[in-house]
Amino acid sequence: MTAAPSSSSYSTKVPTIKGLSAIRQLLKFSREPIKFSEQCVQEYGDVAKISIGSTQVYLFHHPDLIAEILSKQNQHFIKDISYRSLAGIFGNGLLLSDGDLWQRHRRLMQPAFTQERIAAYAATAVEDTAQMLSTWKAGEVRDIHQEMSQLTVKVITRALFGVDITQTALETGEALEAIMLQYYHKTQTGFLFPSWMPTPSNLRGNQAIKHLNKIVDNIIEQRRHSPQDDLLSNLLSAQDEDGSQLSINELRDEVMTLLLAGHETTANALTWTLMLLAQNPEAATNLTRETQSILKGRDPDVTDLPQLPYTEMVLKESMRLYPPAWALSREVAQDCQIGPYSLKKGTAVYFSQWVVHRDARFFKNPEQFLPERWQDNLENKLPRCAYFPFGAGPRVCIGKAFSMMEATLSLAMLAKQFHFTLVPDQAIELLPSITLRPKQGIKMSLESPNIRH
DSSP codes of every residue in 150-178 = HHHHHHHHHHHH----GGGHHHHHHHHHH
Give me the least distance between CB of 268 and ligand HEM, in Å please.
Answer: 7
What letter does residue 324 receive in the DSSP assignment? Answer: S
SS3 of 104-115: HHHHHHHHHHCH
End-to-end CA distance of the chain: 32
CA dist 157 and 165 (Å) reads: 7
Considering beta carbons, is residue 262 or 449 the nearer one to ligand HEM?
262
Give me the least distance between CB of 80 and ligand HEM, in Å please.
Answer: 9
Considering beta carbons, is residue 438 or 449 the nearer one to ligand HEM?
438
Give me the least distance between CB of 9 and ligand HEM, in Å please.
Answer: 26
Backbone φ and ψ for 197, nearest 5 degrees, come out as -70, 135
What residue is closest to ligand HEM based on CB? 399
E-only strand ranges, 74-216:
77-78, 141-143
Angle among Cα 399, 102, 225 to the nearest 5 degrees reads 70
Binding residue ranges: 397
CA dist 223 and 234 (Å) reads: 10
Binding residue ranges for heme: 397
CA dist 237 and 240 (Å) reads: 10
Considering beta carbons, is residue 149 or 202 the nearer one to ligand HEM?
149
Give me the least distance between CB of 37 and ligand HEM, in Å please.
Answer: 16
* Number of residues that this document lists for the chain: 453
Residue 410, CA atoms < 13 Å, CB-side half-sphere:
31
What letter does residue 4 receive in the DSSP assignment? Answer: P
CA dist 289 and 453 (Å) reads: 7
Considering beta carbons, is residue 223 or 419 the nearer one to ligand HEM?
223
Give me the least distance between CB of 281 and ligand HEM, in Å please.
Answer: 24
CA dist 262 and 158 (Å) reads: 12
Please report how the helices 309-321 and 248-279 are oriented relative to each other, as an axis angle in degrees rounded to 10: 100
Considering beta carbons, is residue 46 or 264 the nearer one to ligand HEM?
264
Give me the least distance between CB of 174 and ligand HEM, in Å please.
Answer: 21
Angle among Cα 275, 127, 453 to the nearest 5 degrees reads 55
Exposure b/e, 11-41, CB count within 10 A at least 16 = b: eeebeebeeeebeebbeebbeebeebbbebb
> By the criterion CB under 6 A, which residues form the site for ligand HEM?
94-95, 106, 257-258, 261-262, 265-266, 269, 324-325, 328, 389-391, 395, 397-399, 402-403
Give me the least distance between CB of 159 and ligand HEM, in Å please.
Answer: 8
Residues 171 and 204: beta-carbon distance below 8 Å: no
Considering beta carbons, is residue 201 or 268 the nearer one to ligand HEM?
268
Considering beta carbons, is residue 14 or 401 the nearer one to ligand HEM?
401
CA dist 181 and 111 (Å) reads: 34
Considering beta carbons, is residue 148 or 328 the nearer one to ligand HEM?
328
Give me the least distance between CB of 71 and ligand HEM, in Å please.
Answer: 11
